[in-house]
């Protein structure tokens, strides 16, 4: 599936697509380190603190791949919590918007659960498999409100989620992402 017909090779969407497409080698392509690299490009280009891929399974949301700046320790690969209490589920079910330029009012009025730490700007989009099932989400957030965030940033997230879905399909519906070790690594 071609997402880019006329592009500048420096465009963020192209860089992410090239990394993700280059990962497929007959096994589960999402265990490849290039997935984390692609998420890092997204996080830095949108000036976010965290970007992650989650998986929904057996009533739980599990962080599968996480790229975060060095000061973030609350979101790590392998961490799991009840799906119904997650922002991811609220967004997938339509109870919260995919783009929250300022998420604080949503927490204050109870539209989303209190995460226990400050979230300023938040974006999330479902990763929908070709059979229509929701694998999980691709999300990013910043502790501070990012005034420059736009629908174009959400579009980048959606394109990346679509590419991840294609790779999951190639690996077999429901393919697992390998969990990263639960260690903190310094990020640039």
Judge whether residue 30 has pLDDT over 50: no
How many angstroms separate the CA atoms of 130 and 165, rounded? 7
> Does residue 142 contact residue 47 with C-beta atoms inside 8 Å?
yes
Split at pLDDT 50, 70, 90, the class of 166 is confident
Enter the pTM of the model. 0.78
Interior CA angle at 87 toward 85 and 89, to 5°? 75
Which residue did the predictor score with more confidence, 34 or 110?
Answer: 110
* CA distance linking residue 51 with residue 141, whole number of Å: 7
* Residue pair 64/76 in contact by the 8 Å Cβ criterion: no
Just give the CATH number of 12-171: 3.30.450.40
Give per-residue pLDDT as tens, 81-127.
Answer: 999 999 999 999 999 999 999 999 999 999 999 999 999 999 999 99
Band (pLDDT 50/70/90 cuts) for residue 11 is low
Tokens of 138: 């691709």
Domain ranges, ordered by start, for the chain: 12-171
What pLDDT is recorded for position 178? Answer: 47
**pLDDT number for residue 151:** 94
Mean local confidence (pLDDT), 18-35 = 52
| pLDDT tens digits, one per residue of 48-81 | 999 999 999 999 999 989 999 887 778 888 899 9
């Amino acid at each position: 599936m071609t997402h880019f017909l006329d592009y500048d090779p420096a465009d963020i969407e192209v860089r992410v697509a090239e990394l993700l497409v280059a990962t497929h080698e007959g096994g589960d392509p999402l265990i490849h380190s290039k997935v984390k690299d692609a998420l890092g490009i997204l996080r830095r280009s949108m000036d976010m603190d965290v970007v992650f891929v989650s998986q929904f399974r057996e009533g739980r949301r599990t962080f599968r791949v996480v790229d975060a700046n060095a000061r973030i320790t609350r979101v790590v690969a392998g961490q799991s919590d009840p799906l119904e209490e997650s922002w991811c589920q609220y967004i997938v079910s339509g109870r919260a918007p995919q783009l929250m330029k300022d998420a604080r009012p949503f927490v204050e009025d109870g539209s989303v659960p209190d995460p226990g730490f400050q979230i300023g700007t938040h974006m999330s989009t479902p990763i929908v498999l070709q059979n229509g099932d929701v694998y999980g989400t691709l999300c990013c957030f910043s502790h501070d409100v990012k005034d420059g965030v736009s629908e174009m940033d959400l579009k980048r997230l959606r394109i990346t989620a679509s590419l991840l879905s294609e790779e999951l399909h190639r690996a077999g519906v429901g393919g697992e992402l390998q969990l990263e070790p639960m260690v903190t690594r310094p990020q640039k």
